Amino acid sequence: MAYAPQADPAGLVDKLGERYEIARTDIKKWAAGMPVQAALDAIDNIRKRHPFESGEVQHVTVRLANREVPIVDNREMPDVCLQHIVAVMLIDTTLTFRSSHDKARMRDPATLRERAKVRLVPDEQLERLMPRRQAIIEITLVDGTQLSEHVDAVRGTAHNPMTRQEAVAKARDLVTPVLGTTTCAGLIEPVFALESVKDVRELRPLLQRTSANDPT
């Protein structure tokens, strides 16, 4: 905020050496737009308690803060289109970088069937809680079962941080298709132990894409 229109330059050194902003950084668990994160968390949480298949879903209602709705409502970009991303999540039970950026899938009949079940609703109560991005999901199954979840802290934020295992899984999803399985595995370990790396140039070969990289 030191560079915002109403700047506070003193913020640059506020609690310097006491508060470490890097430890308060948000890391998105899901490869999708930030306003979609809480909704995906909610579906994931529900499925852990009550597993279901996409074909069992009758309809889904997603409630977001008023200002978030226009950002993700039926957008043409797959990774920021809430209705599409929820449909993909219902079918795949998870979301990867590849699946969230597959624009061709926005025309897939199976995905469109699930997308038609999704309704996005602005919620004034959630608006009042901003900037905390929250979501309420209500899922009705064809047998009449009602499932709901209110996510008040997005996974990966400072209020609900991911585990190391989750962070590594996200890194593997992003890095492996570019650098290959072997290089990705060799990169993760020294990154978590940077203080023991004697020469940072040791990392350079692990950050370069070569013909020897194995994309599988």
Domain count, the chain: 2
pLDDT tens for the chain, 216 residues long, are 556 788 888 888 999 999 988 888 899 999 999 999 999 999 999 999 999 999 999 999 999 999 999 999 999 999 999 999 999 999 999 999 999 999 999 999 999 999 999 999 999 999 999 988 999 999 999 999 999 999 999 999 999 999 999 999 999 999 999 999 999 999 998 999 999 999 989 889 888 887 666 555
For residues 109 and 57, state if they share a domain: yes
Answer whether residue 54 is part of any domain: yes
For residues 41 and 131, state if they share a domain: yes
Residue ending a domain, among 109, 125, 151, is 151
Beta bridge partners of 63: 121, 136
For residues 117 and 143, state if they share a domain: yes
Query: Do 38 and 133 touch, CB atoms closer than 8 A?
Result: yes
Count other C-beta atoms under 10 Å from residue 172's C-beta: 14
CATH code assigned at 69: 3.30.1330.120
For residues 39 and 116, state if they share a domain: yes
For residues 91 and 168, state if they share a domain: no
Domain containing residue 168: 164-207
For residues 61 and 142, state if they share a domain: yes
Report phi then psi at 8, rounded to 5: -130, 85
Answer whether residue 215 is part of any domain: no
For residues 59 and 99, state if they share a domain: yes
For residues 60 and 96, state if they share a domain: yes
Q: In sequence order, which residues have a C-beta less than 8 Å from that of residue 78 and are 6 or more positions away?
A: 84, 85, 88, 100, 101, 102, 103, 105, 106
For residues 45 and 110, state if they share a domain: yes
pTM: 0.85
For residues 111 and 58, state if they share a domain: yes
